[in-house]
Amino acid sequence: MNKYFVIGNPIEHSLSPLIHNYWFKKYKINSIYEKTKLETSGLRDFVEEMRINNSIKGVNVTVPFKSKIISFLDELSPISKETFSVNTIIKENKKLIGYNTDATAFQKTLEENNLWLNSSSLIIGAGGVTSSIIWGIRQLNLKDKIYIINRTKEKAEDLVSRLVPGLIGSGIEVLNWGEIPGVNLVINTTSLGLKQNDNLQLDFKKYQNKKECIFYDLIYNPKETNFLSNAKKRGNHIINGKMMFLIQAKQAFNLWTNIDPEIDAEILKIVNL
Ligand SMILES: NC(=O)c1ccc[n+]([C@@H]2O[C@H](COP(=O)([O-])OP(=O)(O)OC[C@H]3O[C@@H](n4cnc5c(N)ncnc54)[C@H](OP(=O)(O)O)[C@@H]3O)[C@@H](O)[C@H]2O)c1
């Protein structure tokens, strides 16, 4: 039986095994998908085990290893290179190749919501996933500015300084925490919201009754963070991270098996999103 893993820390709450094991069963593939909690010091050994163990065919990578894993891999997809982020590893003739399906999944969800296309965007946060979000925006809009605010401003500045010109596009500006520009797309890429009482404490008053403005939270559990419920009360359009999460899994599954799995009613029920 072939094996697949998701590695991260923490990993207890990952829903990826439910999704991939459902698809393995549905498409009659003799494989199992498990979660493994690692310390940073165990990353190298895990990758070496993947390299020599013929039954391990693929791995997903989550917080906090999406960048750290890169130095252990043999090749990177162009998108992984541009975003310095890998969430999916495939094995090809003993070579380990890193891909980033967060970026392409985010792009896909944006394509379904064109409201913002002639506008600048605001990204809140500058963590591991933020470069994937910039990549997704830039596939669809090179001409408008992207603003970033992060609690630790230097981290946002550092992230921007590492971006290739193609992602900078017409410009990326780091603002002070609390400075809120008028844009049509506001994305929360911070982890603040995972707990029901979490609140970003940012003032979005100027967005009152702006139904053309999208507030997008990458968090999918809880389904509606305070960031989203406040936006809903203001009359903004809201999106949570559910479809991005399912699409990144679908694309990873496709890279491993060549099957394009369906996001069917059963899978929505299984993950209860
Ligand atoms: N839907 C999906 O498919 C999907 C995919 C990937 C990630 N995500 C979600 O995206 C979120 C971020 O992931 P990541 O990998 O980028 O995490 P990360 O690397 O740990 O970054 C965390 C970010 O949150 C900020 N932050 C943490 N606590 C904060 C607080 N109390 N106030 C203000 N900002 C705070 C950090 O700011 P500092 O720099 O100041 O510490 C940083 O910008 C997570 O919730 C993750 O679940 C969803």
% of the chain exceeding 70 in pLDDT? 100
Catalytic positions are 66
Kind of pairing, strands 88-92 and 95-99?
Answer: antiparallel
* pLDDT score at 273: 67
* pLDDT score at 194: 86
In the structure, what pLDDT confidence band is assigned to residue 118 with cuts at 50, 70 and 90?
Answer: confident
| pLDDT tens digits for range 45-76 | 999 999 999 999 999 999 999 999 999 999 99
| pLDDT tens digits for range 119-141 | 999 999 999 999 999 999 999 99
Pocket test for ligand 1, best of 174, 187, 189, 224 (most atoms within 8 A of CB): 189
**Mean pLDDT taken over the chain:** 95
Instruction: Give the pTM.
Output: 0.96
Going from the N-terminus, what domains does the chain have, and what CATH number goes with each? 2-99+245-271 (3.40.50.10860), 104-240 (3.40.50.720)
Whole-number Å distance, alpha carbon 32 to ligand 1 midpoint, is 29
3-state secondary structure 212-259: CCEEEECCCCCCCCHHHHHHHHHCCEEECCHHHHHHHHHHHHHHHHCC
Please tell me whether residue 173 adopts helix, strand or coil conformation. Answer: strand
The encoded tokens of residue 218 equal 């990458």
Residue nearest to atom 29 of ligand 1 (CA): 192
| pLDDT tens digits for range 181-227 | 999 999 999 999 888 889 999 999 999 999 999 999 999 989 999 99
Residue nearest to atom 33 of ligand 1 (CA): 151
Whole-number Å distance, alpha carbon 190 to ligand 1 midpoint, is 3
Measure the CA–CA gap between 128 and 186, rounded to whole angstroms.
Answer: 18
* pLDDT score at 13: 86
Exposure of 105 in the CB half-sphere (CA atoms within 13 A): 22
Measure the CA–CA gap between 63 and 42, rounded to whole angstroms.
Answer: 14
How many CB atoms sit inside 10 A of residue 143's CB?
A: 9
The encoded tokens of residue 131 equal 């470069």
